[in-house]
């Protein structure tokens, strides 16, 4: 499935809704990308479960008093020196920076590692349920660092899976 292009993608409000399906675990029917308003920025910006941010279509008043319609669009994040994704939210000429992982945590209650959002940004989660089952089955037989290399995720992500801090409801696959 092709990945969504982030740069310059417009949000018109037509055909793109809170339940716009994107690839997440490779199964958009089961895990659609969901959008919700950012607290204190409700009529300005939305954040998605994938950590993408979009500005909403709105009419603003220019300095000379003329109304101007701003099209909504998917924002392009900036990376900090540590690799975290950050958005510049602007209202009334004032800018406030917001980290993608913090917004996802506040809006959806999802506890996501900051670097995992930047690695998967716009492309869905890195691990499938089947891969998590395999990781849990191999834990103890293969080092966590080796599992991290094999599955292309951080050592911390593997540790959280093995210690049931994330993916708690997924049981290891049965080995025959």
Q: How many domains does the chain have?
A: 2
Residue, of 71 and 129, whose pLDDT is higher? 71
Poorest-pLDDT segment among 8-17, 93-102, 150-159: 8-17
Residue 2 domain flag: no
Domain hosting residue 65, numbered range: 10-111
Higher pLDDT, 49 or 17: 49
Pairing assessment for the beta strands 58-61 and 67-70 based on DSSP bridges: antiparallel
Higher pLDDT, 2 or 101: 101
The pLDDT assigned to 124 comes to 39
- Angle of helix 144-151 relative to helix 155-162, nearest 10 degrees, comes to 120
Q: What is the pLDDT of residue 3?
A: 32
pLDDT one-digit tens code per residue, 5-19: 333 333 333 333 333
Give yes or no: residues 162 and 87 share one domain: no
pTM metric for this prediction = 0.51
Q: What is the CATH number of the domain that holds 77?
A: 3.90.75
pLDDT class for 173, splitting at 50, 70, 90? confident
pLDDT at 16: 38
Q: Does 104 lie in the same domain as 18? A: yes
157 vs 67, residue with greater confidence: 67
Q: What is d(CA 78, CA 113) in angstroms, rounded to the nearest whole number? A: 17
> What's the pLDDT score for residue 170?
79
Can you give the pLDDT at residue 64?
92
Q: Is the pLDDT of residue 100 over 50?
A: yes
In terms of C-beta density within 10 A (0-12 exposed, 13-18 middle, 19 or more buried), how is residue 87 classed?
buried
Q: Where is 144: in which H helix or E strand?
A: helix 144-151
Q: What is the pLDDT of residue 152?
A: 75
90 in any annotated domain? yes
**How far, in Å, CA of 3 to CA of 83, rounded?**
21
């Amino acid at each position: 499935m092709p990945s969504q292009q982030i740069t310059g993608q417009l949000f018109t409000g037509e055909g793109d809704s809170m339940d716009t399906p994107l690839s997440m675990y490779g199964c958009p029917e089961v895990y659609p990308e969901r959008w919700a308003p950012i607290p204190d920025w409700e009529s300005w910006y939305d954040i998605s479960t994938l950590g993408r941010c979009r500005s909403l279509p709105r009419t603003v008043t220019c300095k000379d008093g003329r109304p101007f319609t701003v099209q909504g669009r998917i924002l392009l994040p900036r990376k900090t020196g540590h690799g975290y994704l950050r958005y510049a939210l602007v209202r009334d000429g004032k800018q406030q920076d917001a980290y993608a992982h913090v917004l996802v945590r506040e809006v959806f209650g999802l506890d996501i590692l900051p670097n995992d959002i930047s690695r998967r940004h716009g492309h869905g989660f890195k691990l499938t349920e089947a891969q998590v089952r395999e990781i849990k089955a191999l834990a103890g037989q293969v080092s966590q660092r080796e599992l991290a290399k094999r599955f292309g995720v951080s050592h911390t992500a593997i540790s959280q899976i093995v210690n049931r801090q994330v993916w708690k409801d997924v049981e290891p696959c049965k080995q025959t």
